């Protein structure tokens, strides 16, 4: 019983890490723009496919010439994927969200545009790469460390560590740097901020770079643990990460981080104890109860609007 | 100015789409009056198992090429036309595709759907509309039960489940078994239950120590696999499709599982090894035919397929070939009148009356239920990643 519990806590930490990494992206964009970027789950999917493309490029095309080994390819794949995925996120902002913002469209239209962008990414991928599943190459040999009570793999440890490091990094950026201060300021009052001489567009682009870049990282890490890629893989994970961010208190970095792990934990534990058909039912009921009890989420602040 | 440019671009792209749609659609929905025989294919070209649909279509295209697009019926040449409908590997889309094939494309007979999840509802539609259908790959009994118009080309799960249970008992000396399956899909769910029943019959009640489930589209099975590993099972049976197998097998190994894993005929796709890689080597599954070491007609088919498409055909391709062969034979035997509704009934009767069809997946004959009587093959995935013949089990 104890063995299963420890093992499942580790499983939950790994599964929650993906939710956290994606939820952080939702949270950043929401925090700055008050926009729920529903395309974010699909940016995660694009990240996984970009990672696949980059990895196979180095392994297949350049690898034999340069003699790159798996770990080296991985070390190249992660930053390159993050950069390229960030570029996709910024492109999306440029062609879909910015024109709407310039025209002063209502937030609702921007959210619906985001939903559309997600569908465009999914179906664009389906049209370009086809419906066949893709397999992510094994870049580093999986080491299983068996401690008797529980067993972990190197990938599992790396994923959990990555989620924690990204959280610390973002927390630092948002609370301690000038960029972060500007981000928070836009969120506070986006009409007064340009008057202070802060370039709003650059800050928004920076936000998208951060969010999408870490979605790319999540994509590569996800593909390493679950190496079967398909165009719709981001949709459900994205939705759930969004819910995790809301439960954590959307707009708060700590909330997104904690919410992601909470959701991962609840999902794994429900499956471990109940039949798997009950998973989403029970886990989302729990989240619903949390929201009823604290509608602003675990770390959220209640906002009052002066009329 | 800007707006009109956008409008122009829209109109232009719409026009492009329309012409593209028309270009590929020269064959008008035709009945057999014009000397055409239309056979419909209800197959998954997108969705969870796109490779299954692709294999099936490739086998059909090869068939069409080999017969030169024509068949002789009572001395007269008829043009053979195949219509491929994508069922997105969803049950509801399979029903829509089936209706389209029957009503719009005027198919004389239908091949497919492939997986039981689509074939069970698809069979209902075919039977209700009195259109003969052969499901090449669906092993769930419900597909043909009490449906005179529905046939199949493969063995059934009530046969396959015990075959796997018996094999695991004899080969690994296993006493306790674990099962991991998708509860939301007819095929894995049915097979998991047949396996459990057969296992408990051999080893007594409670010998299936873990009976864990998940839902379609799940990617993480760590909680279920943790339960399975802690249960002390000697063998894991997972009757899943190839894309899930790759995830299950890898995660099981990562959590410390080092005992045998067995699968069912849904493993036998050409894509299993590209997705699963080294992780699946050394495991066994029950299936319809083994490509490595085949002889005679089967070898001819494999060679022709390999030279055309560049890979060894999987059981879906072989079963589609056999289903198509039986359908064509039935059409040739049936007294065709030109009245579609009458002809469909005639083809159904001719299918039921086929004495014994010598196919590439073995010889078969339909029993009164529309199911063929044929044997199963246990295949081992060898170190080269080939599906190697290991044992044959007759009913």
Helix residue spans in chain B (DSSP H): 2-23, 50-66, 91-99, 116-128, 157-172, 186-203, 222-230, 242-254, 272-276, 296-309, 315-333, 340-353
Question: B227, A277: Cβ pair inside 8 Å?
Answer: no
Alpha-carbon distance B339 to B350, whole Å?
Answer: 16
Q: What is the pLDDT of residue B6?
A: 56
The answer to whether the bond into B113 is cis (omega within 30° of 0) is yes
**pLDDT at residue B45 is higher than 60:** yes
Residues A119-161: pLDDT tens digits? 999 999 999 998 888 999 888 888 888 887 888 999 999 999 9
Closest CA to A80 of A98, A57, A102: A57
How does pLDDT run across B271-323, given as a tens digit for each residue? Answer: 898 898 888 999 999 998 888 777 888 899 999 999 999 998 988 999 999 99
Task: Quote the minimal CA–CA distance from B154 to chain A in Å.
Answer: 25
pLDDT number for residue A62: 67
* pLDDT attached to residue B17: 52
The band of B93, judged by pLDDT with boundaries at 50, 70 and 90, is very high
Condensed to tens digits (0 to 9), the pLDDT of residues A283-297 reads: 899 989 998 998 888
Q: Does B314 touch chain A (CB under 8 A)?
A: no
| C-beta separation of B351 from B366 below 8 A | yes
For B268-284, the pLDDT digits (tens) are: 888 898 898 888 999 99
Tokens of B24: 């590929």
pLDDT in tens, A213-226: 999 999 999 999 99
> Average pLDDT of chain B?
87
Cβ contact, residue pair A144, B47, below 8 Å: no
Selected for mutation to probe chain A from B219, B246, B279 (highest A CB count within 10 Å) is B219
Question: Would you say residue B82 has pLDDT above 90?
Answer: yes
Which stretch of A84-88, A251-255, A299-303 has the lowest confidence by average pLDDT? A299-303
3-class state of residue A144 by DSSP: strand
Query: Which pLDDT value is given to residue B356?
Result: 87
Give DSSP secondary structure letters for B5-71: HHHHHHHHHHHHHHHHHHHT--S----GGGTEEEEEEEE-SSSS-HHHHHHHHHHHHHHHHHTTTEE
Mean pLDDT, residues B116-142 taken together: 92
The pTM of this model reads: 0.83
A7 vs B contacts (CB less than 8 Å): 226, 230, 255
Contacts of B57 in chain A (CB under 8 A): none
B248 pLDDT band, cuts 50/70/90, is: very high
Q: How confident is the model at residue B33 (pLDDT cuts 50, 70, 90)?
A: very low
- Predicted local distance difference test score (pLDDT) of residue A178: 92
For the residues B197-210, what does the mean pLDDT come to? Answer: 94
* Residue ranges per structural domain of chain A: 25-230
Structure tokens, A13: 């930490």
> What's the residue count for chain A?
307
DSSP assignment letter at B366: B
Burial status of residue A249 (CB atoms within 10 A of its CB: 0-12, 13-18, 19 or more): buried
CA distance to partner chain B, nearest, from residue A180 (Å) = 35
The verdict on a CB contact (< 8 Å) between B214 and A226 is no
**Residues of chain A with C-beta less than 8 angstroms from the C-beta of B45:** 131
The torsion region of residue B317 among left (phi > 0), alpha (psi -120 to 50) and beta comes to alpha
pLDDT at B30 over 60: no
Per-residue confidence (pLDDT) for residue B22, from 0 to 100: 43
Would you place residue B365 in the very low, low, confident or very high pLDDT band (cuts 50, 70, 90)?
Answer: confident
Among B52-56, B216-220, B248-252, the range scoring the smallest mean pLDDT is B216-220
């Amino acid at each position: 019983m104890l063995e299963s519990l420890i093992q499942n806590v580790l499983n939950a930490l790994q599964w929650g890490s993906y939710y956290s990494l994606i939820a952080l992206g939702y949270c950043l964009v929401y925090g700055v723009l008050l926009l729920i970027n529903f395309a974010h789950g699909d940016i995660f999917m694009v990240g996984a496919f970009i990672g696949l493309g980059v990895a196979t490029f180095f392994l297949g095309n350049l690898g034999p010439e340069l003699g790159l080994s798996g770990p080296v390819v991985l070390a190249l794949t992660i930053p390159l994927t993050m950069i390229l995925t960030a570029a996709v996120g910024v492109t999306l902002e440029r062609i879909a969200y910015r024109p709407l913002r310039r025209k002063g469209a209502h937030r609702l239209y921007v959210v619906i545009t985001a939903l559309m962008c997600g569908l465009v990414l999914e179906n664009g991928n389906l049209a370009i790469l086809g419906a066949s599943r893709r397999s992510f190459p094994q870049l580093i040999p999986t080491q299983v460390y068996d401690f008797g009570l529980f067993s972990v793999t190197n990938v599992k440890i790396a994923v959990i560590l990555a989620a924690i490091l990204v959280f610390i990094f973002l927390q630092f950026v948002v609370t301690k740097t000038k960029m972060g201060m500007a981000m928070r300021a836009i969120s506070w009052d986006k009409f007064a901020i340009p008057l202070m001489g802060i370039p709003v567009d650059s800050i928004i682009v920076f936000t998208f770079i951060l969010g999408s870049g870490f979605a790319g990282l999540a994509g590569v890490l996800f593909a390493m643990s679950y190496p079967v890629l398909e165009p719709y893989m981001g949709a459900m994970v994205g939705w759930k990460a969004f819910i995790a961010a809301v439960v954590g208190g959307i707009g708060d970095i700590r909330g997104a981080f904690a919410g992601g792990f909470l959701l991962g934990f609840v999902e794994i534990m429900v499956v471990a104890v109940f039949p798997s058909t009950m998973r989403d039912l029970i886990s989302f009921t729990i989240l619903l109860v949390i929201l009823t009890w604290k509608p602003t989420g675990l770390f959220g602040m209640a906002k009052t609007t002066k009329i | 100015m800007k707006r009109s440019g956008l409008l122009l671009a829209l109109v232009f792209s719409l026009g492009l789409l329309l012409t593209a749609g028309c270009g590929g659609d020269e064959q008008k929905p035709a009945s057999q009056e014009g000397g055409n025989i239309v056979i419909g294919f209800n197959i998954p070209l997108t969705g969870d198992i796109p490779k299954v649909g692709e294999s099936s279509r490739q086998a059909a295209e090869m068939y069409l090429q080999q017969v030169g697009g024509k068949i002789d019926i009572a001395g007269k040449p008829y043009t053979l036309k195949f219509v491929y409908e994508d069922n997105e590997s969803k049950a509801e889309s399979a029903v829509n595709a089936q209706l389209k094939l029957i009503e719009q494309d005027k198919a004389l007979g239908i091949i497919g759907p492939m997986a039981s999840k689509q074939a069970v509802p698809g069979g209902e539609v075919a039977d209700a509309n009195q259109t003969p259908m052969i499901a090449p790959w669906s092993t769930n009994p419900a597909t043909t039960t009490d449906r005179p118009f529905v046939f199949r080309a493969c063995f059934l799960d009530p046969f396959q489940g015990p075959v796997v249970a018996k094999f695991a008992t004899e080969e690994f000396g296993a006493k306790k078994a674990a099962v991991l399956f998708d509860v939301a899909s007819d095929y894995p769910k049915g097979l998991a239950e047949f396996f459990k029943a057969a296992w408990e019959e051999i080893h007594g009640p409670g010998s299936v120590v873990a009976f864990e489930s998940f839902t379609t589209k799940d990617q993480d099975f760590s909680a279920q696999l943790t339960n399975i590993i802690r249960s002390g099972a000697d063998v894991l049976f997972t009757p899943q499709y190839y894309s899930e197998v790759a995830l299950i097998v890898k995660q099981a190994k990562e959590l410390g599982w080092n005992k045998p894993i067995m699968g069912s005929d849904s493993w036998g796709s050409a894509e299993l090894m590209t997705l699963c890689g080294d992780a699946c080597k050394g495991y066994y599954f029950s299936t319809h035919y083994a490509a490595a070491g085949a002889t005679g007609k089967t070898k001819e088919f494999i060679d022709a397929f390999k030279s055309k498409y560049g890979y060894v055909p999987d059981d879906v391709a072989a079963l589609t070939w056999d289903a198509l062969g039986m359908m064509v034979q039935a059409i040739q035997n049936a007294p065709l009148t030109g009245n579609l509704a009458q002809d469909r009934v005639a083809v159904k009767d001719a299918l039921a009356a086929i004495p014994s069809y010598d196919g590439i997946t073995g010889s078969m004959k339909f029993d009164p239920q529309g199911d063929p009587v044929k044997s199963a093959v246990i295949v081992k995935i060898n170190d080269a990643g080939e599906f190697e013949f290991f044992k044959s089990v007759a009913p």
